[in-house]
Amino acid sequence: MALSLRLHNLLSPTFRPKPPPSSKATLSPPNPSLSLLSSSPLPHLLLKASHSLTIRAASSSSSSSPTTVADPQGIKINLVPTKPIEGQKTGTSGLRKRVKVFQQENYLANWIQALFDSLPSEDYKNGVLVLGGDGRYFNREAAQIIIKIAAGNGVGKILVGKEGILSTPAVSAANGGFIMSASHNPGGPDYDWGIKFNYNSGQPAPESITDKIYGNTLSISEIKVADIADVDLSTLGVVKYGNFSVEVVDPVSDYLELLENVFDFQLIKSLLQLDFRFMFDAMHAVTGAYAKPIFVDNLGASPDSISNGVPLEDFGHGHPDPNLTYAKDLVEILYSENGPDFGAASDGDGDRNMILGRSFFVTPSDSVAIIAANAQEAIPYFRGGPKGLARSMPTSGALDRVAEKLKLPFFEVPTGWKFFGNLMDAGKLSICGEESFGTGSDHIREKDGIWAVLAWLSIIAYRNKDKKPGEKLVSVSDVVKEHWATYGRNFFSRYDYEECESAGASKMIDYLRELISISRTGDKYGKFGPSTSLDTIMILDAESYHPTGNYVLQFADDFTYTDPVDGSVASKQGVRFVFTDGSRIIYRLSGTGSAGATVRIYIEQYEPDASKHDADAQMALKPLIDLALSVSKLKEFTGREKPTVIT
């Protein structure tokens, strides 16, 4: 048991949801009655022989030296002079920059201190915070900085994953804390690093907190740093410094226990005992630490079913983003002549997933809809039925039709998992997803890659529970095509243009906002003459015609969301063109990169006719794709000829 501060409230036969947050959120204080703090003597924790990592005064304050003050914690606290550093605006996914930026003097330390300055002291004083990450380069050094500043600000205890490893879902399961990750972005000395703070329910910190952090980075003058030695993160156990302590914990055990109480592991085992071949690509990222204990040791998968299962600081020179472009080795295996029955991959910090069948790709939009449609019968956690469903605005409408058929509350929210958290805490939402390969439920407050894989294995296992060895199994493609036959198919694709020049990308979005301001219901998009006010921006070749004519606009807007729980408003969340046949084109600038701007274009078309469901998505969507590029003048604004990634 490693992260039991919250799980003892979840692990019950009724799978109770997390209680709604109180009016004043607080982090859990130490509780000696819990197994985490009262277990048998822990292994001896060695301290590094090297000297402690130090945090220095900013160069502009070189004439000043740290001031040492007494502290009730029983350790010396150094007040290190510093000055504000530009570029510390926190986004929906935390602060992400190149490693070299974080290695600047006090860059990370300033942000961590600004975070503590942004929280009510009762939220962390003498309390417990969790610390972990995806194993990427700079995590080890960053962990020591975070531990010392946490101690300097009065935190009672830090739980840190062995070797600094904890997946984002595992941190969320433990009620939150610091996540050292740049998610799906590449790692290594020349690539990306990031830091994110998850709040009291394990959800990403809300804008009310991140805005305060940024404000405090603009006025920071000193950092509170405990004068303690570096902690050896390679050995399980507890080390104490006065009243402050650090416990290095197993990153897997309690997260696994939570999953065992969500899914029927015996049912999944029975599937893997049939002639069913499974492959999981950890992409040399954090789920490599979880794959063997979960899939091999507990579910009985063959050890060779785990690919790239050792977490590496540079992800093996790969890009840990589970999509058709960056997980191409897995894709080639699943599309080979005698490929496995099921394949899956997860990203850098373990919160994203990709699902494949033999020669078959499941879009993330379809994936969440299929999980929701099958959850009640295949997954014990949902035996009483989901409370509600939700998707991000750019995600296809496949989930909408499931909610309608099951008569469940449905929510369309902006991109960013924090918008789901409020709905979950209010008891309004059970299953949700984003087209950006994120899928999850209210078992935690983050998306969860391994959860999604186990959900799919549960569905396939349930469909094959009466099969005997040697009998033909219901496949991934069978499940998807049955779903399409029932609900219709949403052809969907996303075009990513990564690291565009920011000014040009912003001008493109501004242009689109001007365009929607003059758009009217009934405007026609395609090859029209002067009868439409927009004829000057779109003239398509004959082969690009919509199969039934041209596209007629239902509405165009810049998506605004009003949270039904707290009334907060999020505006300018994506420019949408929605047509009368249900087709959509959406444009967004993504905030998940560390350099330049990522332009994302989402293209969707609904097809109820089952005889057309087997068409290639790119061919089915070609008229809309051509239209999307023409409307946006993307090449003119960004200079980009081709997308970096197509999904």
| Mean pLDDT value across residues 566-575 | 93
- Tokens of residue 372, six digits: 């929701």
pLDDT attached to residue 69: 60
pLDDT attached to residue 416: 87
Burial of residue 336 (number of CB atoms within 10 Å: 0-12, 13-18, 19+): exposed
| Per-residue pLDDT band at 41 (split at 50, 70, 90) | very low
> 515 vs 550, which has greater pLDDT?
515
| Mean pLDDT value across residues 201-214 | 88
CA 548 to CA 295: how far, in whole Å?
48
| Per-residue pLDDT band at 516 (split at 50, 70, 90) | very high
| Mean pLDDT value across residues 560-586 | 94
CA 62 to CA 58: how far, in whole Å?
7
Residues with Cβ < 8 Å from 365, sequence gap 6 or more? 391, 395, 396, 398, 399, 433, 435, 490, 492
pLDDT attached to residue 56: 53
| pLDDT per residue as tens digits for the range 7-26 | 333 222 222 233 333 322 33
pLDDT attached to residue 277: 95
| pLDDT per residue as tens digits for the range 606-619 | 999 999 999 999 99
In DSSP terms, 132 is beta-bridged to 179
Listed in sequence order, the DSSP H helices in 179-233 are 207-217
- Opening angle at CA 499, ends 494 and 501, nearest 5: 115
> 469 vs 530, which has greater pLDDT?
469
| Mean pLDDT value across residues 110-117 | 97
pLDDT attached to residue 19: 35
CA 296 to CA 311: how far, in whole Å?
17
Distances in whole angstroms, Cα of residue 374 to Cα of each of 324, 369, 380, 428, 463:
25, 9, 11, 19, 10
CA 494 to CA 601: how far, in whole Å?
6
pLDDT attached to residue 596: 76
What mean pLDDT is reported for the chain?
Answer: 86
| Mean pLDDT value across residues 218-222 | 97
| pLDDT per residue as tens digits for the range 578-607 | 999 999 999 999 755 545 789 999 999 999
pLDDT attached to residue 72: 56
pLDDT attached to residue 46: 24
> 457 vs 546, which has greater pLDDT?
457
pLDDT exceeds 80 at position 59 = no
183 catalytic? Reply is: yes
| Mean pLDDT value across residues 444-460 | 97
User: Which of 183, 346, 430, 493 is an active site residue?
Assistant: 183
pLDDT exceeds 70 at position 28 = no
pLDDT attached to residue 199: 86
Q: What are phi and psi of 620, to 5 degrees?
A: -65, -30
| Per-residue pLDDT band at 201 (split at 50, 70, 90) | confident
pLDDT attached to residue 493: 94
| Mean pLDDT value across residues 170-176 | 87
| pLDDT per residue as tens digits for the range 317-326 | 999 999 999 9
pLDDT exceeds 50 at position 568 = yes
pLDDT exceeds 70 at position 106 = yes
| Mean pLDDT value across residues 324-339 | 95
- Rounded to a whole number of angstroms, the distance between the first and last alpha carbons of the chain is 39
| Per-residue pLDDT band at 202 (split at 50, 70, 90) | confident
Of the given ranges (72-86, 97-111, 391-405), which has the lowest mean pLDDT?
72-86
| Per-residue pLDDT band at 176 (split at 50, 70, 90) | confident
Q: What are the chain's domains?
A: 67-250 (3.40.120.10), 255-487 (3.40.120.10), 490-646 (3.30.310.50)
For every residue of 524-560, which 3-state class applies, written as one string? EECCCCCCCCCCCCCCCCHHHCECCECEEEEEEEECC
| Mean pLDDT value across residues 549-560 | 89
pLDDT attached to residue 40: 25
Q: Which residue has the tokens 């902690």?
A: 231
